[in-house]
Amino acid sequence: MFNISKTICGVAVASVLMVGQALAGPYDDYADTTLVVNFPAHPHYDAVRKILPEFTKETGIEVEVDQLPYLKMRERQTLELGQDEGDYDLIAYVVFSKADYVYADQLENLARYFMNPKLSDPAYDADDLIDGYVYNIGFAGGNKGYLQGKTGSLFGIPYGSETSILGYRKDIFEKHGLEVPQTYDQMLDIACKIPELEPGMGGLSSRAASGHHASHAFLLHLAPLGGRVFDDSWNPIVNNAEGVQAANALKTIVDCGPEGASSFGFGEALGSFLAGDTAMFLDTTVVAGQIDDPAKSKVVGKVGWALHPEGTRRGSQTGGFGIGIPKNAENKEAAFLLMQWLTSKKGDKLVALAGGNPSRFSTHEDADVNAKFPHMATFGEALKHADPDWRPIIPVWGKINADLGTTLSKVLTEDLDVQEALDGVAERATAIMEEAGYYTWNK
Amino acid sequence: MALEEKQQHPGFYAILTMLIIMAVGPILMMLINSFKLDVDIISGTSGLLFMPTIQNYETALCDILPYEPEHLDFCALKFGGAFINSLIIALVSTLLTLVIGCMAAYALVRFRFMGRDTASATTLMVRMVPPAVLLVPVFGLWNNEFCIDKASWLGSLIRDNFGGRGDVCLAGTHSGIILIYVAMNLPFVIWILQSFIVQVPRQLEEAARMDGAGPFQVFFKVVLPLIKPGLAAAAIFTFRIAWNEYLLASALSDRDTKTVPILIVNNMSEFNVEWGVIMATGMLLAIPPIIFTLFASRQIITGMTAGAVKG
Amino acid sequence: MSTSTSFNRLTPYVFLAPAVVIMALALLYPLGYMIFGSFREWDPSQAMGESTYVGLKNYITLWNDPNFRESTFVTLKFAISVVTVEMFIGVGLALMLDRNLRGMSLLRTLFILPMMIAPVVVGLIWRYMYHPTLGIFNRGLKGVGLESVDWLGQHALLSVIIADIWQWTPFIFILALAALQSLPRSALEASRIDGATGWQQIIYIKLPLMMPVLIVTCLLRLIDAFKVLEVILVMTEGGPGLSTEILALRISRTATEFRELGVAAAMSNYLLMLLLFITVLMLVYNRVMEHRAARASRMIEESD
């Protein structure tokens, strides 16, 4: 009897062990794999690097990070993704690279992975990801090829989502009894008042340097003021009244901005706000961490946050990065596991607490995150107004973007006429679009 | 020379002092700022009143420090590794350029191949080619054409021993960058060394040959020791170009073979302009050339003037 | 005996072979490859074989491209102004400092420092000095109560030119000084005995005799001015607008950012042709001047 029970016990233990083996954790097969990932030099991904040791501890998968400035990162990826076998297992891509990579068939369609019961985490809760960003960054093949639509599918997951937000100096606004601007008119008005009220201080610091920066700053104003780059049949309309208004807004901001504003890149624009040389800052949400860092900032605790002011509509930026798996990667499944871990509820919260930009609704509402970063609620609100059609994400955008940026920079520094400048951009854009075949169906 | 006995005018010394400040001042400023925290740099107290810190250097060199600096959450800037890459690339390419260039210069002078004019003309022609012009072809060739199939025995040997994926190409390797640097510097080195080899007396070589030395022995035992000053000048110039070059290296290197200039340009990332760290990395990159200049300025000037003034 | 002679006959080839092989492989072949590629539409992810032949299209597009023209114009403006200013300052300093000073060698050492350090570092030093609020220039201007200047914005090209002058004037100074010190003393002595003043000596004797060296120096510097890239890349990245986008920078942007290797190759070819033209022009001019200088020194010797 005693013996039998002992035997039963033994069998039970053995069977538990066997079941245990059959139910090996999802990560066991990939322990000791080393993933090579390509990330941008960006505050969100700095935060990601802080939480990666946690992933390695939990899964046994090592991660080697190659971090580059994002334009360099894009160049590197162009080269790596074009080869038969690439170095990178997981890449973070800038939102506008989506078009190039998907069109060139260089990113894995994620359906296969989410269907795989061994890889896909049932608790992942994809509905909690912020819709606008999933469509903007991860989705391809829908309406216009880059928007949400019935024909689209998922190639990446937003990670490091940004939107535009207005930061303002609470102390300065209080001192002069200024209202936090709700509309564009109010904002431009205050931006030009500041230099009079506070001699030596600029109104709003914006990026404006030639190329990508100037173009980005212009787009920031284009959507809220009701403009678009293309109409529905791909004809450039940057040079319409709204476009001109947006360019004029940019010019006003730069003219009333801090010293040297016309050559500011993002870093200089932020630097000027951090040094206390400007009263307002209208750009991406990633800056919050640095503004609260006493080693870098002289305005700790003096900054309030508000939604991107309204023009004819709300339309804040959709931007930032997504992560995807290259077609030529070596360890695709392990890469998917990392991707899933990073964008899971747990990973999203961890990265938010480390100073990153969460991509989930739940994280924006999370009590711990809000306790640590009180601005998170405003940021979550801003994300709801993010405009998925903020810029056209098509393969030729890079070229049009570069031209737009250089031309606008001439408007800012060489007093080129706004209308004339934008007409030129539209004309060259038409030629580029024509060559790329966007007008084939008009004939 | 007419003025040599005269007492110099005090204004002359004032101008001289100003010139020295203008030449060296910016470099000193970089040195000072590399010891400042970012807050000290932006706070505007431009003077010397600050607490010097080596924090910036710790940030830069975090991957080769034996301890983990407290102010860092993780090591982002792998400057130490890049420094080693730069050293390998610069030293090997200098050595190769010198050996190969020396032999070629010797052949051109002693065996009367082409006239010195042909060599000078070639040098000038090659010097005329900007690195930017080489960018496109070198990028294309090194990445796509100068490759060994990974299925071939040599290719699989390399992949098995050194890891990595895909075909074995020159791009992304130290050798790839070294090859282009050697090619770029060779004409100049040949040109300079020629002017030194011409001055080696023939009788010495013939005497050695009488004693039964072969051409290689004559070259290494007799000629080389006599042209040491020329070699020094050529070495410094080659090293300087290989050490400082950015464009081609950035097109050819991958994540493991980045050199220091690439890292510095990359680190001027738009999201985070950390002047202190940038100045520290700049200083580290500038130190070897500065040391050379201080200890071998005579050779440098010889090298610079050899071409234009005597040639 | 016969083996040793054949060895001797082969020796020069053995000595030359490595250099020839390397230069053929890594200079000539790439240049040919570039010319071949400039007639193709070619993407960085393609091997040359996969690209399509488009004839002169790249060249024609560039010729009509206002941006390319502006870039060429900026390059010429940059190169010509830096070389002119550097020649004047460099030669001027050489004439001024051509005396037996104690510590002259230390002075020369300090002067060559700027051109020995990496262009990338030069770029970042100047970018910092030009910084609108942190930089030493604007702080200085503010210190004496003047308006600050938007160096890298409104005056970007000028700022870049100043940085290049800082870095490269010493080159001309050193070469001019070397030329001065190798002048025939007899000519100078003779002119002094004839009662020439310092200025007369400079204008009628020193400068004409230095001329061949100065022309070569000028040519070398001019060629190098077309190669400048890193300093501008770090300081302005070609902006604002295209105001500092020299051709070298535009080539690299076209290749890496716009991913049009064929166009970049055609642009490289245009740049190369421009440089070739300038070099040949200067060399021909130099020949003429050498003849004149030779005649001049002969005349001086005769009059001696």
| Closest residue, chain C, to B38 (C-alpha) | C134
Those of residues 222-261 in C touching chain B at CB distance below 8 A are: 223, 226-227, 229-230, 233-234, 247-249, 251-252, 255-256, 261
Work out the mean pLDDT of chain A and round it to a whole number: 86
| Mean per-residue pLDDT, C17-25 | 88
Q: What is the pLDDT of residue B115?
A: 59
A271 close contact with B: CB closer than 8 A:
yes
Mutate: best of C133, C137, C236, partner A, most A CBs <10 A:
C133
Q: Do A164-316+396-442 and A29-163+318-384 have the same topology in CATH? A: yes
Q: Tell me the CATH class for C65-303.
A: mainly alpha
Of C133, C156, C240, the CB nearest to A259: C133
Q: Do A295 and B165 touch (CB under 8 A)?
A: no
pLDDT in tens, A68-79: 888 788 888 888
Q: How far apart are CA A208 and CA A217, in angstroms?
A: 6
| Closest residue, chain A, to C138 (C-alpha) | A259
Which residues are CB-neighbours of A11 under 8 A, at least 6 positions away? none
| Closest residue, chain C, to A260 (C-alpha) | C150
- Number of Cβ within 10 Å of residue B114's Cβ equals 11
A283 close contact with B: CB closer than 8 A:
no
Q: Which residues of A touch B257 (CB under 8 A)?
A: none
Q: Do B166 and A86 touch (CB under 8 A)?
A: yes
A377 close contact with B: CB closer than 8 A:
no
What pTM does this model have? Answer: 0.83
| Closest residue, chain B, to A354 (C-alpha) | B73
Q: Do A406 and C241 touch (CB under 8 A)?
A: yes
Q: What is the pLDDT of residue B56?
A: 84
CB A33 within 8 A of CB A61: yes
Q: Rounded to the nearest 10 degrees, how much is the dihedral formed by the CA atoms of A13, A15, A19, A24?
A: 50
Q: Do C239 and A410 touch (CB under 8 A)?
A: no
| Mean per-residue pLDDT, A376-397 | 85
| Closest residue, chain C, to A402 (C-alpha) | C258
Q: Which residues of B touch C93 (CB under 8 A)?
A: 19
CB C299 within 8 A of CB C204: no
pLDDT surpassing 80 at residue C92: yes
Structure tokens of C24?
A: 């053929």
Report ipTM for this prediction.
0.85
More confident position, A219 or B158: A219
Q: Do C238 and A263 touch (CB under 8 A)?
A: no
Q: CATH 3.40.50.620: does it fit domain A164-316+396-442?
A: no
Q: How confident is the model at residue A115 (pLDDT cuts 50, 70, 90)?
A: very high
Topology, domain A29-163+318-384: D-Maltodextrin-Binding Protein; domain 2 (3.40.190)
Instruction: Tell me whether strands A278-284 and A164-169 are parallel, antiparallel or unpaired.
Output: antiparallel
pLDDT surpassing 60 at residue A7: no
Q: Which residues of A touch B143 (CB under 8 A)?
A: 79
Of B39, B76, B273, the CB nearest to A271: B273
Q: How far apart are CA C128 and CA C135, in angstroms?
A: 6
Q: What is the pLDDT of residue A17?
A: 46
pLDDT surpassing 80 at residue A409: yes
Q: Which residues of A touch C46 (CB under 8 A)?
A: 82
| Mean per-residue pLDDT, A402-423 | 89
CB A432 within 8 A of CB C172: no
Q: How many residues does chain B have?
A: 311
Closest CA of chain A from B186, distance in Å = 30
CB B252 within 8 A of CB B235: no
Q: What is the pLDDT of residue A18?
A: 46
| Mean per-residue pLDDT, A321-343 | 92
3-state SS class at A171: helix
Q: Hey, which residues does A278 pair with through a beta bridge?
A: A202
Q: Which residues of B touch A67 (CB under 8 A)?
A: 76
| Mean per-residue pLDDT, A393-400 | 87
Q: How far apart are CA A300 and CA A298, in angstroms?
A: 6
CB B282 within 8 A of CB B210: no
pLDDT surpassing 80 at residue C2: no
Q: How far apart are CA B274 and CA C268, in angstroms?
A: 35
| Mean per-residue pLDDT, C149-177 | 87
Q: Which residues of C touch B308 (CB under 8 A)?
A: 175, 213, 216-217, 220
CB B23 within 8 A of CB C111: yes
Structure tokens of A379?
A: 């940021």
Q: Which residues of C touch B45 (CB under 8 A)?
A: none
Q: How far apart are CA A82 and CA A328, in angstroms?
A: 8
Q: How confident is the model at residue A221 (pLDDT cuts 50, 70, 90)?
A: very high
Of C19, C178, C182, the CB nearest to B100: C19
- What 8-state DSSP symbol labels residue B306? I
Mutate: best of C259, C260, C261, partner A, most A CBs <10 A:
C259
Q: Do B268 and C124 touch (CB under 8 A)?
A: yes
| Closest residue, chain B, to A79 (C-alpha) | B143
Q: Kindly give the confidence (pLDDT) of every residue in chain B, 311 residues in length, as a single tens digit, with 9 standing for 90 and above.
A: 444 445 667 778 888 888 888 888 899 988 988 888 877 777 665 556 677 788 888 888 877 777 777 777 777 777 888 889 999 999 999 999 999 998 888 888 877 666 566 766 777 778 788 888 898 888 888 887 788 777 777 777 777 777 667 777 888 788 889 999 999 888 888 888 888 888 888 888 888 888 887 777 887 888 888 888 888 888 888 898 899 999 999 888 888 888 999 988 888 766 667 788 888 989 999 998 888 888 888 888 877 776 655 43
Q: Which residues of B touch C235 (CB under 8 A)?
A: none
Closest CA of chain A from C118, distance in Å = 21
- Nearest Cα residue to A349 out of A373, A315, A322, A323: A373
Mutate: best of B270, B273, B278, partner A, most A CBs <10 A:
B270
Q: How far apart are CA A285 and CA A305, in angstroms?
A: 10
Q: Which residues of B touch A66 (CB under 8 A)?
A: 255
Q: What is the pLDDT of residue C160?
A: 92
Closest CA of chain A from B272, distance in Å = 6
- Number of Cβ within 10 Å of residue A20's Cβ equals 10
Touching chains, B (3+ CB pairs < 8 A):
A, C
Q: Which residues of B touch A50 (CB under 8 A)?
A: 73-74
Closest CA of chain A from C34, distance in Å = 19
Closest CA of chain B from C243, distance in Å = 19
| Mean per-residue pLDDT, C251-259 | 83
Q: How far apart are CA C301 and CA C298, in angstroms?
A: 5
Of C154, C237, C257, the CB nearest to A262: C154
Q: Do A41 and B266 touch (CB under 8 A)?
A: yes
Q: Where are the beta strands (DSSP E) in A59-163?
A: 62-68, 90-94, 139-140, 153-154, 157-162
pLDDT surpassing 70 at residue C174: yes
Q: Do B305 and C37 touch (CB under 8 A)?
A: no
Q: How far apart are CA C234 and CA A409, in angstroms?
A: 18
Q: What is the pLDDT of residue A1?
A: 46
Q: How far apart are CA B153 and CA B143, in angstroms?
A: 20
Q: Which residues of A touch C132 (CB under 8 A)?
A: 258-261, 263, 268, 272
Q: Which residues of B touch C101 (CB under 8 A)?
A: 8
Token pair 């005056």 is found at C155
Closest CA of chain C from B56, distance in Å = 16
Q: Which CATH number fits domain B81-310: 3.40.50.720, 1.10.3720.10, 1.10.3470.10, 3.40.30.10?
A: 1.10.3720.10
Q: Which residues of A touch C44 (CB under 8 A)?
A: 78-79, 82
Closest CA of chain B from C80, distance in Å = 16
Q: Which residues of B touch A267 (CB under 8 A)?
A: 268-273
Spell out the domain ranges in chain A.
Answer: 29-163+318-384, 164-316+396-442
More confident position, C82 or C51: C82
A176 close contact with C: CB closer than 8 A:
no
Q: Do B297 and C112 touch (CB under 8 A)?
A: yes
Q: How confident is the model at residue C77 (pLDDT cuts 50, 70, 90)?
A: very high
| Closest residue, chain C, to A276 (C-alpha) | C133
